[in-house]
Structure 1
Amino acid sequence: MRLYQKIIVGILSVLAICIVGITIYGIRALDDVNSAINNISQTVNRKTKKRDVAVSIEDREPFSILLLGIDTGALGRTETGRSDSMMLVTVNPKKKQSTIVSLDRDILTDMLDGSTFDKLNHAYAYGGVELSMDAVEKLLDVPVDHYVTINMQGMRDLIDAVGGIEVDNKIDFTLEKVHVPKGKITLNGKTGLAYARMRYDDPEGDIGRQRRQREVVEKIVKKVLSMDGVSNYQKILKAVEKNSKTDLTWDDMLDIGKNYYPAFDNIQQEQLEGIGEQVNGIYYQVLGINELLTIQNTLKEQLELPTSSELAIDPQFEYSMNGFIGNQFYDDRLGNEQGQALSENQIIDSEEAYIEAPYTEEIYQ
């Protein structure tokens, strides 16, 4: 099939196509694509507070997109759920670079109601996509321009749709009766979902899981880019349209497919990681000032925005009863060891702490 017959379509979904415009081959696929776009399209009732003018994908401006993996859709889960996986992706076509920053779901985060600090992944349960975008935007101090969600079943279907992905698994484990052996193996949807979800057998816990999730994203993207033929893309479309939502328009997707393609060849991976603390008996990740500032500036550089010399802290939270800066950060400017020691001496266990934690901690793999 000749090049001029190809139709460029961007289908962005949270653990894969969310970073790349898919090339659909053949006019016959157009109806399928239109149907998929209609099914996954869902606008949000919010505007970024970090831009005076909305970003223009048509003009090839760098943009950000929040990827949310929702813990429903498979394993019998049908409730609203929480954002079990969160990544912020920035795409810069001029620099031909993309950045994926994994966000720990347990990060102690301002829920933006003036009184509640909770786990970052609880924002989705509190206020859906809109609050998730606002909370991440406040935390990272960069505009969150768009979003994509995908549930667990969508990830499983998507891996199957691309014919599986190859990984070098470092840990032999069994998750919910699904065994994933150690070594170089090809994962199907069932084993691939387990590979992306496992954390308790990983010495690095959720950090190790997030590393594997980023790996799955890249592997699927590469398979998508290498695929040819209408039949393959029809499988991908079916996987996406049943389990994903995005506020990107049809025109946005076309422009991403045509103009942003080179940026997906150079993907920089980052991990926003704090230290574990017990807050009123519940586990949280508390971020260090330097760690967060470094990630913020990395994203700002990718979005071609001015960087900052110090972390901006909301004045109303600058001082708190628990001794943490801004209720949610610890001072790591003295270095990792001293910062760690400082934090350990300030474990939050006071009823006076400016934190509400309405959820009972549940075990999610």
Structure 2
Amino acid sequence: MRRWAKIVISGTLIAVIGVGGYAYSVYRPVVNTLESIYEPLESDAAIAASDSGGKGGSLTASVGNAGVPAVRELPADLSEQQPFNLLVLGVDERENDIGRSDAIMMLAVNPKKHSVLMFNIPRDTRTEIVGRGKVDKINHAYAFGGVKMAVDTVEHFLDVPVDYYVKVNMEGLEQIIDILGGVTVDNPFAFDFEGTEYAEGPIGMNGHEALMYARMRYDDPKGDLGRNDRQQRVLSALIEKGKNISNLTKVNSVLGAVKDHVKTNLTKDDMMEIVTRYRTEIGTVDKDEVQGEGRRIDGIYYYLVDEAEQTRIRAELNGQLDRTP
């Protein structure tokens, strides 16, 4: 788990998923890929225009709808090794359907503390959807308004600005896993799902089996929290395989899949800064969980997070980022 989180924040998830040190031998294809997956938020331009003092200054810029208290500050200055947070959206996109954010993960990186704080926001969390004027499941924000609405809604839920995002199409992970020859994970308990048996202990899986493994939740005693854990196990195993790529054909195939299935508002230079300035500074990873309870409201299942828990998570996040709430 710790090795996975270190690699994620060092940029290999963004370049997917672990081309790692070998990337330097195929520099131009990697650069082309990083440039092609860059997709800024609409608000990024407004924030950049307001930054008369240089990136990472103290100016702020309001985003989202009127009446919404969430404020996006200028993104962290990565060249100065400032703390930053990264919102990872694992999206279930299908043909003729924008899909929903199947996984919502926040990473808060502080090189001065040599640590990362990591937690998932359960997809069924009931909250206000910014820009829709209604309360709904947090993963519906992406379906209603894409990455912009998802980021605005997470910011509003946490009352903490998001510096950067990475969107990964879950179907793309299936393709990448097959290119790399499958993955092996240590499965904590046996279960059957979608016609496949997953035994307890170490199991090898192809791309489709791994994607189904990561999606199952109703037979997991921990529900959404258990699925979050399995998603992280798959990503960890995938990165380990990616680190050992030695075949140029496989590298080019992975880069092709990345172009089709990953988007981020981190620029090529931002990602290079993360690789060169942050990777060696991270010593520990602290994992947290958003605590709540499942409940049906008008026949619909939601994960309810009370105000006290939101305050606790917000304080943990601000503390990790050295920000005063």
1:45 aligns with 2:42: yes
Instruction: For residue 82 of structure 2, give the secondary structure of its aligned residue in structure 1.
Output: coil
Q: What pairs with 1:95-106 in structure 2 (closer than 5 Å)?
A: 95-106=113-124
Q: More displaced, 216-225 or 57-66?
A: 216-225
8 Å CA contact retained: 1:277, 1:283 = yes
1:68 aligns with 2:89: yes
1:80 aligns with 2:112: no
What TM-score do the two structures reach when normalised by structure 2?
A: 0.80
Q: What pairs with 1:169-318 in structure 2 (closer than 5 Å)?
A: 169-225=187-243, 230=248, 233-263=251-281, 266-306=284-324
8 Å CA contact retained: 1:96, 1:265 = yes
Paired position in structure 1 for 2:29: 32
8 Å CA contact retained: 1:25, 1:230 = no
AA partner of residue 317 (structure 2): L
8 Å CA contact retained: 1:70, 1:82 = yes
Instruction: For residue 273 of structure 1, give the secondary structure of its aligned residue in structure 2.
Output: coil
Instruction: For residue 304 of structure 1, give the secondary structure of its aligned residue in structure 2.
Output: coil
- The 1:303–1:223 alpha-carbon spacing in structure 2 relative to 1, beyond 3 Å, is farther
Q: Deviations over 1:103-146 (max 9, x none)?
A: 11111111124731111001001111011111111111222111
Instruction: For residue 89 of structure 1, give the secondary structure of its aligned residue in structure 2.
Output: strand
Instruction: For residue 46 of structure 1, give the secondary structure of its aligned residue in structure 2.
Output: helix
AA partner of residue 22 (structure 1): G
- The 1:215–1:292 alpha-carbon spacing in structure 2 relative to 1, beyond 3 Å, is farther
8 Å CA contact retained: 1:178, 1:190 = no
8 Å CA contact retained: 1:179, 1:191 = no
Q: Deviations over 1:199-222 (max 9, x none)?
A: 122122222101111233333344
User: 2: distance between equivalents of 1:296 and 1:197?
Assistant: 27
Instruction: For residue 58 of structure 1, give the secondary structure of its aligned residue in structure 2.
Output: helix
Instruction: For residue 80 of structure 2, give the secondary structure of its aligned residue in structure 1.
Output: coil
Q: More displaced, 198-207 or 60-69?
A: 198-207
8 Å CA contact retained: 2:131, 2:149 = no
Q: Deviations over 1:175-213 (max 9, x none)?
A: 323332222123332221122111122122222101111
1:121 is matched with which residue: 139, 155, 160?
A: 139
8 Å CA contact retained: 2:124, 2:137 = yes
- The 1:26–1:110 alpha-carbon spacing in structure 2 relative to 1, beyond 3 Å, is closer
Instruction: For residue 71 of structure 1, give the secondary structure of its aligned residue in structure 2.
Output: strand
- The 1:141–1:232 alpha-carbon spacing in structure 2 relative to 1, beyond 3 Å, is same
1:22 aligns with 2:32: no
AA partner of residue 158 (structure 1): I
- The 1:265–1:190 alpha-carbon spacing in structure 2 relative to 1, beyond 3 Å, is farther
- The 1:25–1:282 alpha-carbon spacing in structure 2 relative to 1, beyond 3 Å, is closer
AA partner of residue 297 (structure 1): A
User: 1: distance between equivalents of 2:19 and 2:119?
Assistant: 20
Paired position in structure 1 for 2:53: none
Paired position in structure 1 for 2:54: none
Paired position in structure 2 for 1:54: 75
Higher share in helix: 2
8 Å CA contact retained: 2:191, 2:197 = yes
Instruction: For residue 207 of structure 1, give the secondary structure of its aligned residue in structure 2.
Output: helix
8 Å CA contact retained: 1:58, 1:255 = yes
Instruction: For residue 94 of structure 1, give the secondary structure of its aligned residue in structure 2.
Output: coil
8 Å CA contact retained: 1:21, 1:254 = no
AA partner of residue 72 (structure 1): E
User: 2: distance between equivalents of 1:226 and 1:62?
Assistant: 29
Q: More displaced, 205-214 or 171-180?
A: 171-180
User: 2: distance between equivalents of 1:266 and 1:189?
Assistant: 30
8 Å CA contact retained: 2:23, 2:30 = no
- The 1:275–1:295 alpha-carbon spacing in structure 2 relative to 1, beyond 3 Å, is same
The gaps in structure 1 that reach 5 residues or longer are 1-8, 308-365
Alpha-carbon distance, 1:11 to partner: 4.7
Bigger relative contact order (CA 8 A; separation at least 6): 2
8 Å CA contact retained: 2:75, 2:84 = no
Alpha-carbon distance, 1:234 to partner: 3.1
AA partner of residue 21 (structure 2): T
Alpha-carbon distance, 1:235 to partner: 3.9
Tell me the C-alpha RMSD between the 2 structures.
2.6
Alpha-carbon distance, 1:263 to partner: 5.0
User: 2: distance between equivalents of 1:115 and 1:46?
Assistant: 20
Paired position in structure 2 for 1:341: none
Q: Deviations over 1:270-310 (max 9, x none)?
A: 22131112222211111123322222122112211125xxx
